[in-house]
Amino acid sequence: MSNKPTTPEPLEAAITQADDRLLADHWMPPQAGIVPRVRVGRRWISVLWALPIGTAALMVLIAVAQAAPPVDSGFPWWLQVQHFLNMFFMLFIIRAGLQILADHPRLYWRRHCTPGTDWFRFQRPVPKGRVWTAKDDSVTLPTWLGIPGLRHTLGLARWWHFSVNLLWVINGVLFYGLLFATDQWRRLVPLTWEVFPAALSTAIQYASLNFPVDHSWTRYNGLQELSYFVTVFVAAPVSIVTGLMQSPAIANSLGWIGRLLNRQAMRSIHFLSFAWFVTFIAMHGVMVFITGLRQNTNHMFAGVENDSWAGLPLFLLAMAVLTAAWLLASPFTRRHARLVQRTGRFMIGWLKTLATRMDPKTQF
Angle at 82 between CA 80 and CA 84, to 5 degrees: 75
Judge whether 195 lies within some domain.
yes
Judge whether 141 lies within some domain.
no
Phi-psi region of 60 (alpha: psi -120 to 50; beta: other; left: phi over 0): alpha
Neighbours of 234 (CB within 10 A): 12
pLDDT value at position 40?
A: 78
pLDDT value at position 283?
A: 83
Judge whether 17 lies within some domain.
no
Neighbours of 168 (CB within 10 A): 20
Question: Which residues are CB-neighbours of 121 under 8 A, at least 6 positions away?
Answer: 34, 36, 37, 44, 105, 106, 107
What residues does 107 pair with on adjacent strands?
120
Rg value, the chain, Cα: 23
Judge whether 309 lies within some domain.
yes
Which residue, among 63, 88, 17, has the nearest Cα to 324 in the 3D structure? 88
**Which residue range is the domain that position 96 belongs to?**
23-123+149-356
pLDDT value at position 364?
A: 45
Task: Please report how the helices 154-181 and 236-244 are oriented relative to each other, as an axis angle in degrees rounded to 10.
Answer: 140
pLDDT value at position 328?
A: 96
Specify the DSSP class assigned to residue 298. Answer: I
pLDDT value at position 63?
A: 40
pTM above 0.85, yes or no: no
Which residue type occupies 358? M
Question: Which residues are CB-neighbours of 258 under 8 A, at least 6 positions away?
Answer: 245, 250, 251, 252, 363
- Report H helices in 104-221: 134-137, 154-181, 185-188, 195-207
Which residue type occupies 247? S
Question: Which residues are CB-neighbours of 77 under 8 A, at least 6 positions away?
Answer: 303
Judge whether 136 lies within some domain.
no
Which residue type occupies 309? W
Neighbours of 49 (CB within 10 A): 10
Beta strands in 85-164 (DSSP E): 106-107, 120-121
Judge whether 140 lies within some domain.
no
Q: Please check whether residue 147 is in contact with residue 156, taking contact to mean a CB–CB distance below 8 angstroms.
A: yes
Judge whether 139 lies within some domain.
no
SS3 content of the chain, % helix, strand, coil (to 5): 60, 5, 40
Q: Please check whether residue 104 is in contact with residue 126, taking contact to mean a CB–CB distance below 8 angstroms.
A: no
Consecutive 10-residue averages of pLDDT for the chain (364 residues): 53 65 72 79 74 58 45 84 96 96 93 89 89 88 92 92 95 94 87 72 64 72 81 95 88 81 93 94 85 89 90 95 96 93 91 71 51
Which residue type occupies 133? T
Alpha-carbon dihedral sign for residues 159, 163, 169, 172: negative
* Structural domains of the chain, count: 1
What residues does 120 pair with on adjacent strands?
38, 107
Judge whether 96 lies within some domain.
yes
pLDDT value at position 253?
A: 80
Cα separation, 171 vs 173, in Å, equals 6
- 3-state SS assignment for residue 282: helix
pLDDT value at position 10?
A: 64
Cα separation, 57 vs 182, in Å, equals 34
Specify the DSSP class assigned to residue 292. Answer: T
What residues does 231 pair with on adjacent strands?
none
On the question of a cis peptide bond just before residue 142, with omega within 30 degrees of 0, the verdict is: no
β-sheet with 43-46: strand ranges across: 43-46, 37-40, 120-121, 106-107
